[in-house]
Amino acid sequence: MPWKQVDMETLRQEFTALARHDDVNFSALCARFGISRKTGYKWLKRLQTEGPDGLVDRSRRPATIPLHTSVLAAERVVELRMQHPTWGGRKIQRRLTDLGHIEVPTPSTITRILHRRGLIAAYASANSTPWQRFEHAQPNDLWQMDFKGNFETGQATCHPLTIIDDHSRYNIILKACLHPNTEEVQQALVETFQRYGMPVRINTDNGAPWGSPSQVEHGITRLTVWLIQLGINISHSRPAHPQTNGKDERFHRTLKADVLHGRHFFDLNEVQDEFDHWRSIYNHQRPHEGIGLATPATRYRPSRLAYPAQLPEIVYHDSDLVQIVGWDGQIKLHGRRFRVSKALHRHQIAARPVPQMDGLYELYFAHHRFGAIDLRNLKMQD
């Protein structure tokens, strides 16, 4: 996948952050970023010897950087707050420490400084209470995927596609899409799988293009058929329970506050440029309170599950009743017709007998159970 020239510094930062983990396959990571091992080692060496400035193209920066004028700790706090108006005392304290400052005030002192300067609104204090969420044990165990509503630009409607890694809170995808459809999501996922590998499971809500609770094929769409063929487990939030995708929902709130609130954009390209800039800050600079004020990049690693060159073959059990789904989404089981999903047209599915339950069959597409048929009452079940 080619790198946009304007994003080179950001991509080098992302590459070096991922490459510094001990258990990363360095050759595979270089291949995913489209660079040679020699180039990868060059950027790691520059980062080690020169810090973040070593990742900048030399032709655009002077050979040496003059010392910055020293400022009072309070001025450092105010300056960082002005850059990131939604950050509180804990985030600012952690970021100043990460930047190498020695005399860093405590979070409570920083909060008092911000209050004195009139940089904390009353409603912000009321909404600052953190809450605990369940967390998966490893990166890529679960990705949460969703569209963050939509908004108008001067030229078109923007539908932001987002994916958050559950364990690390690493933002995997932040894309300004023109349409919230299968084609745009699949294209974004292919590029992402090629760079980061694939997750064990993806959780989505029940809306298009990944599901429709009002249809019998709830959870089986053209997009989820493709993901299931790749071996990825698919799950859906319960209807009217967005907290099931809570980390991505929380990410949407941060995105709105930091990037979208009070802003207008000319077109999707301008939105994407802003998304790319802010995504780097979110993943590599912004301390995240949900992970002990670490940054998501320190907890994320690319997946060992590589994106395959072609879809793997689906194999069913010998005891399964294998059916090919018809054009209208129907199968025929023991002389009776049942509608399963139009998205499975021409695909083989398995009707798997339930032991000690005569007439009851569970329906599988590859590893994914998506329903059941009860011949005793001739009904489809979830």
Euclidean distance between CA atoms 152 and 176, whole angstroms:
11
Residue 150 and residue 229 in one domain: yes
Query: What is the phi/psi pair of residue 103, to 5°?
Result: -90, 85
Q: How far is CA 380 from CA 34, 63, 212, 217, 239, in A?
A: 47, 70, 16, 11, 20
* pLDDT tens, N- to C-terminus, the chain (382 residues): 444 544 678 888 888 889 888 888 999 888 888 889 999 899 889 888 888 888 887 655 444 444 332 356 888 888 888 788 888 888 888 888 888 888 888 888 888 887 777 777 544 544 454 444 567 889 999 999 999 989 999 999 999 999 999 999 999 999 999 999 999 999 999 999 999 999 999 999 877 888 765 554 556 899 999 999 999 999 888 655 555 578 888 899 999 999 999 899 999 999 999 999 999 999 999 998 888 899 999 999 999 999 999 999 999 999 999 999 998 899 999 889 998 889 999 999 999 999 888 889 999 999 999 889 998 887 666 6
pLDDT of the residue at 126? 42
- What is the span of the domain harbouring residue 369? 321-381
Q: Flag whether 121 is in a domain.
A: yes
pLDDT of the residue at 239? 59
Residue 163 and residue 292 in one domain: yes
Residue 95 and residue 218 in one domain: no
CA 365, 166, 299, 285 torsion: positive or negative? positive
Q: Flag whether 67 is in a domain.
A: no
pLDDT of the residue at 173? 97
Give the CATH number of the domain where residue 175 resides. 3.30.420.10
Q: Flag whether 311 is in a domain.
A: no
pLDDT of the residue at 67? 37
pTM of the model: 0.75
Q: Flag whether 270 is in a domain.
A: yes
Residue 329 and residue 365 in one domain: yes
Q: Flag whether 198 is in a domain.
A: yes
Q: Flag whether 191 is in a domain.
A: yes
Residue 269 and residue 161 in one domain: yes
Residue 290 and residue 151 in one domain: yes
Euclidean distance between CA atoms 108 and 112, whole angstroms:
6
Task: Count how many domains the chain has.
Answer: 4
Residue 244 and residue 366 in one domain: no
Helix (H, G, I), strand (E, B) or coil at 88: coil
Strands 142-147 and 151-152: unpaired
**One-letter amino acid of 244:** T
Residue 244 and residue 335 in one domain: no
Residue 78 and residue 54 in one domain: no
**CA-only gyration radius of the chain, Å:** 24
Helix (H, G, I), strand (E, B) or coil at 155: coil
Euclidean distance between CA atoms 194 and 133, whole angstroms:
29
Residue 110 and residue 230 in one domain: no
pLDDT of the residue at 212? 62
Residue 155 and residue 207 in one domain: yes
Q: Flag whether 232 is in a domain.
A: yes
100: region left, alpha or beta (phi > 0 left; psi from -120 to 50 alpha): left
Give the distance from CA 24 to its chain's centroid: 19
Q: Which two tokens stand for residue 254?
A: 């941060």
Q: Flag whether 100 is in a domain.
A: yes
Residue 220 and residue 263 in one domain: yes
Euclidean distance between CA atoms 296 and 135, whole angstroms:
13
pLDDT of the residue at 202? 95
